[in-house]
Amino acid sequence: MRAEETHRLSVARPSPRTLARRHPHLAAALAVVAWLAFAIGLHPLTLPDEGRYVGVAWEMMRSGDWLVPMQNGLPFFHKPPLFYWLTALSMEVFGVHVAAARLAPLLLAILAMLGLWATTRRRCGAAIANATVLVLATMPFFFGAAHFANLDMPVAACIALTTVFAADAALALRDGAPSRRLLVLAWACAALGVLAKGLIGIVLPGLVLVLWLLALRQARTILRLISPPGVAVFLLIAAPWFVLVQERYPGFLHFFFVYQHFERYTAGGFNNPQPWWFYLAVLFALALPWSLWLVRVRLPARTTESIDGRAWRTLMWIWLAVVVAFFSLPQSKPVGYVMPALFPLAFLIAEPALAAWQGGPAAARRAAAGSLGLAIAVCLVAVGVAATRYDRDHTALAHALRDARAPGDPVVFVQEYFFDVPLPALIDWHGATGYIVGLVVMAVLAVILVRVPLQNAGSPDEPAPPSAMM
């Protein structure tokens, strides 16, 4: 090849750096996905939650009965089916292994981050939206929950998406801008939240939005959020499963709504009884080192910023307060219940951290960079401990059972049921390079999601990838 032709080809082919500049959202999304997903298959299922819920999903996939969740041959109606559907579908497509079992919470965590980023960018600008995603993705609580196979992240993600889409629609209604699509999206996410964990999927975002609009003195907007198309979409998504299960099991609705919701909420000591301040301590401890920035957090109102910025910060304060207060009232306080508070907490922390990085003295900039580095280190150490030091992994016992047990032989557990035994005892659970599969799948999903024209959610600010704080 002649030198002139070589030069012409090298000019025509854009460099990787040029491509990254052309598609900053794509590059940033891939970086966030890779960060959240790299450990998806590196550690065994934990007990009891991951083993229990993944086992129910596997039984659904094996039996082909996608209506009734089953555990040990009995209907398991403690929770609705969204997690089981998504996990069963993931294992059906990608194989039965740890990475596929954890794909659903990871996907929903990323979708929630994307929705939070898009709406925050529109209302507050690109810089704070990017910083919020950066804080959230490296917050140890969120990082661990994003690849933990239970129902806490799915419902938290649905609550977050419902809240930000409905709040964005409320501000659009105030300005006379189009809001119908946002309202339909919000109602659809609320329906998925109900299918993820029940009534809190609509009660929590509804409570947040009502109090927020009252605080903004926009009470009339509350009724305008009850969109007929949105309500129709909500019923179309959420109602059929409950109706069909009630037809097959006539006592289901009473068990699910009365016992699993109201009686459990008001009962004392049902699960992990703790004092009223427990969730305050949990949020502070599991958000370290980012939670140290709460000493510099900004108050809801500032006269030097835009109306949208003040309204959005007020939303975040009310959102955080409602979630913490709602789950602090009962004595039972499982750690994961407070997870919907992580989204507003990340925004409130990102504001002072971003201000320190952009315009603070050198010491403040070093503190912001140090917080990011320490948060990443904490997450990496947690992955290492989970992968090498978890002492309740019964995979070896499961493999011994698989080798010794004849088909049809019963297995009886005494005193404690090991939920992580049935799957590896019945199938070749570790027969695939799970976390590599998970990474590839999530990378493809990120490309698909970000190729959607997110510029429609833009702000006057020049977009910047969320992998940079400024």
Distance CA 96, CA 428 (A): 8
b/e code 71-100 from CB counts within 10 Å (16+ = b): beeeebbbbbbbbbbbbbbbbeebbbbbbb
309 touches 123 (CB < 8 A)? yes
Contacts 24+ apart (CB under 8 A), 214-218: 215/314, 215/318, 216/311, 216/314, 218/170, 218/174
Q: Report the distance separating Cα 165 and Cα 429, nearest Å.
A: 39
pLDDT of residue 445: 53
What are the residue ranges in the chain where pLDDT is below 50? 1, 3, 5-16, 19, 430-432, 434-435, 449-470
Question: How does pLDDT run across 433-463, given as a tens digit for each residue?
Answer: 544 555 555 555 555 544 443 434 444 344 3
Whether the CB-CB separation of 327 and 333 falls below 8 Å is answered with yes
Distance CA 279, CA 259 (A): 24
Residue pair 348/316 in contact by the 8 Å Cβ criterion: yes
Report the pLDDT value the prediction gives residue 385, as an integer from 0 to 100: 84
Domain spans of the chain? 23-457
Residue 461: its pLDDT value, please? 43
Cα–Cα distance for residue pair 422/52, rounded to 1 Å: 10
What is the structure's pLDDT at 13? 47
Q: Token match 């105030």: residue?
A: 174
115, with CB counted inside 10 A (0-12, 13-18, 19+), is buried
Q: What is the pLDDT of residues 299-323, one digit of tens each?
A: 655 555 678 888 999 999 999 999 9
d(CA 237, CA 158): 13
pLDDT at residue number 75: 83
**The pLDDT value given to residue 335:** 87
Tens digit of each residue's pLDDT (9 = 90 or more) over 201-225: 999 999 999 999 999 999 999 999 9
pLDDT of residue 134: 92
How far is Cα of residue 77 from the mean position of the Cα atoms in its chain?
A: 23
Query: Given the structure tokens 């009995």, which residue do they identify?
Result: 74
307 with 331: CB under 8 angstroms?
A: no
d(CA 382, CA 389): 10
